[in-house]
Structure 1
Amino acid sequence: MSDREISENSPSQRDAILGTLLGVAVGDALGLPYENLSRLRGERLFGEPDRYRLIPGIGLISDDTEHNCIVAQSLIAQGTDVDRFLPDFARRLKRWGILLPAGTGRATIIACARLMVGVSPQRSGIFSAGNGPAMRAPILGAAIRDLDQLREFVRVSTRVTHTDPKAEFGAWAIALATNLSWQDQELSPQRFFQRLTETIADEPAEELIDLVAKVIASVEAGESTTDFLDSRDLGKGVSGYVYHTVPAALHVWLSFPNDYRNAVQTMIRCGGDADTTAAIVGGIVGARTGTAGIPPEWIAGLRDWPRTTRWMKELGGALADSVETGATDIPPQLPWWKELPRNLAFLTLVVGYGFRRLLPPY
């Protein structure tokens, strides 16, 4: 992107990085209780997604936020050297998998297991078009300006866990959306579509391009996201298939590019994989608005431990420093003896909540 295409009103990259990290976390925490519920069932069981409901008033994060944090740590430690980033990211992902995270996708779990037994990160991924790579793409789009370099990072981040090209193309669309969200204040749906098609013109991504073209037409016609999803037979909820997740997230983002609250709430109301879709949308919009655009009561309500809001702000600040100076550093770390008991407690909570969701109202 040329300097002329970057508005003088664009947020600083530091604002974009912090807005992305906290935007992902808030969307993740708000959407978590609604995960895998239909649109109607989620509304009847929990009402409006206007507060944290897994534990009333307390926002808890899941793998969506954790993966963005892991990517940020590897970027701080290895900078923009993609060959060094890959083994570092794989090592951190393996460690994350050992500590028993809850609610993780099948492909990611298998890839982590393969890494644990010594399979190289170049061969650890499995053929899957899940949305795992897309969920960790926002922080890449906020941290890496250059699109060619960003594309390489998306590619290696994807293939550690998912080898289906659809997973990579979907992750690229999300990373590009985040990148343009904060760099181009004059961005329009057509302009995004043009940049997307330009960057994957030589790839077998015709299906994604066709889907995004339908998104653009729908947004420009003023169609709501729920009506658009109904037309795609996704009225009961957005699945974890990347070509369901990405068009839905892009539609919400392009409908509310400057409105974090409406964007995240609209995405959650669509049902399905609500924590991941809301995390992705939150990351894209948060990159544009910075933390100032995220409702302060939602940020204040994030009280997970040990990945606290304070810790995530420290991580985001360290990444911004690394990007600004070009220097690598030891990123903020979390000891295993904090993460493991937290994950076990979270798993217990999730299982208990699963039983609660079997009860009325239906």
Structure 2
Amino acid sequence: MTLTGKTADHAARRERALLSLDGLSVGDAFGERFFLPLSVAASMVEQRATPAGPWSYTDDTEMALSIVQVLDEHGRIDQEALARLFATRYRDNPRRGYGGTAHDILQALCQGEPWRRISAQVFGGTGSMGNGGAMRVAPLGAWFADDLDRVVAEARASAEVTHFHSEGQAGAIAIAVAAAWAHRWRETHPPARQLFEVVLEHTPPGATRRGLEKARALPLEAAPSLAAKELGSGQRIISEDTVPYSVWCAARHLGNYEEALWTTVSGYGDRDTTCAIVGGIVALSAGRESIPPTWLAAREPLERRA
């Protein structure tokens, strides 16, 4: 540690996280543009018709920005700081596409209620098993890419602020581990299917893990529509029907950001979130040069600090 409390490789960690954040936010904004009548969206996908800009990002990116800021300021997930930033960004712009439960949680945080009580009391005291913990976490996996045990612990802590349910936390862990592995893949290019093995090794037992096991068994050459049918693509907006499909899409196109996003959006479902997750992972494996410059230019500028 330095005298500032930051590790000597803080700048390198930040650079990785910012790359993942760009991938996540472009994917988020790209996917959001496909919430159209299915026939129209399908025609755009078939023709590879890039949506007209500008592309606004959603709550997926808004919350990922908070995670990156907390990591930059603290070098870890300080849950109190993260809850405050979630509340601040929500108060400043509540119209980013937050779901109903997220509105309830964030409004309570804005009123100063403790996050531990709020996170634990939703859905009758079970907590949320939604995909919100997963959609925002890829930059955290990038930050701690050199230590998968740390990735697991920090991902769980990041999810717990809003997702008390173990499935909501499992989804965050799986995606953070996938992002960390993607960063490593860029250097050594192991077989893409190793992604499933590493993610499964670190994902806690439960429905999300079972979905990942199904994803591992699905050929990467399968049609995205079949994968979406078998795994779900976020239609239920929960971890178990979002994370497995997203990991499958990322594994299919580790070296090509653009193709990864077209594949992901063709599963429809919760398309901004699946594209945010896949974008945050594949930006790390394919590199910044794989994100089309026109897509980066179309995405609205990021307000990185609250």
Structures share a fold, TM > 0.5? yes
1:22 Cα deviation after fit = 1.1
Q: Provide the rounded CA distance (Å) in 1 between the counterparts of 2:281 and 2:37.
A: 24
Q: Which residue of 1 aligns with 2:80?
A: 87
Q: Which moved more, 1:222-231 or 1:57-66?
A: 222-231
**TM-score w.r.t. length of structure 2:** 0.84
Aligned residue number for residue 351 of structure 1 = none
> What is the TM-score normalised by the length of structure 1?
0.72
- Report the Cα offset of residue 119 of structure 1: 2.2
Shift of 1:175: 0.5
CA RMSD after TM alignment: 2.4
**Using the alignment, how far apart are the partners of 2:40 and 2:296 within structure 1?**
26
What residue is the counterpart of 2:41 in the other structure? 42
The reply to whether residue 216 of structure 1 matches residue 216 of structure 2 is: yes
- State how far apart, in whole Å, the 1-side matches of 2:107 and 2:273 are: 22
Q: Contact 1:252 / 1:267 at 8 angstroms: preserved in 2?
A: yes
Q: Aligned ranges for residues 240-279 of structure 1 at < 5 Å?
A: 240-279=237-276
Q: CA deviation at 1:34?
A: 2.0
Aligned partners of 1:28, 1:216: CA distance in 2, in Å?
Answer: 24
Aligned residues of 2:131 and 2:237 also touching (Cα < 8 A): yes
Q: Secondary structure at the match of 1:223?
A: coil
Q: Report the Cα distance in structure 2 between the residues aligned to 1:276 and 1:72, rounded to whole angstroms.
A: 18
Identity within the alignment, %: 28
Corresponding residue to 1:191 among 169, 188, 194: 194
> How much does 1:64 deviate?
1.1
Q: Indicate the residue corresponding to 2:50 in structure 1.
A: 51
Bigger shift: residues 24-33 or 174-183: 24-33
Could you tell me which of 108, 118, 126 is aligned with 2:112? 118
Structure 1 residues 89 and 13, CA gap change in structure 2 (3 angstroms): closer
Structure 1 or 2, whichever has the larger Rg, is: 1
Q: Match for 2:159: what amino acid?
A: T
- Say whether the 8 Å CA contact 2:105–2:118 is kept in structure 1: yes
Q: CA deviation at 1:266?
A: 1.2
Give me the whole-angstrom Cα distance separating, in 1, the residues matched to 2:267 and 2:273. 12
Is the Cα–Cα contact under 8 Å of residues 20 and 283 in structure 1 kept in the other structure? yes
**How far is 1:276 from its partner?**
1.0
2:287 corresponds to which of 280, 285, 290: 290
Please, which runs of 5 or more residues in structure 2 have no aligned partner? 1-11
Give the superposition deviation at 1:49: 5.7
d(CA) in 2 for partners of 1:244, 1:95: 29
Q: Is 1:77 aligned to residue 76 of structure 2? A: no
What is the aligned partner in structure 2 of residue 163 from structure 1? 164
Q: Contact 2:18–2:139 at 8 Å: present in 1 too?
A: no
Paired residues in the alignment total: 285
Tell me the CA shift for residue 25 of structure 1. 1.4
Deviation at 1:69, TM superposition (A): 0.9
SS of the aligned residue for 1:173 comes to helix
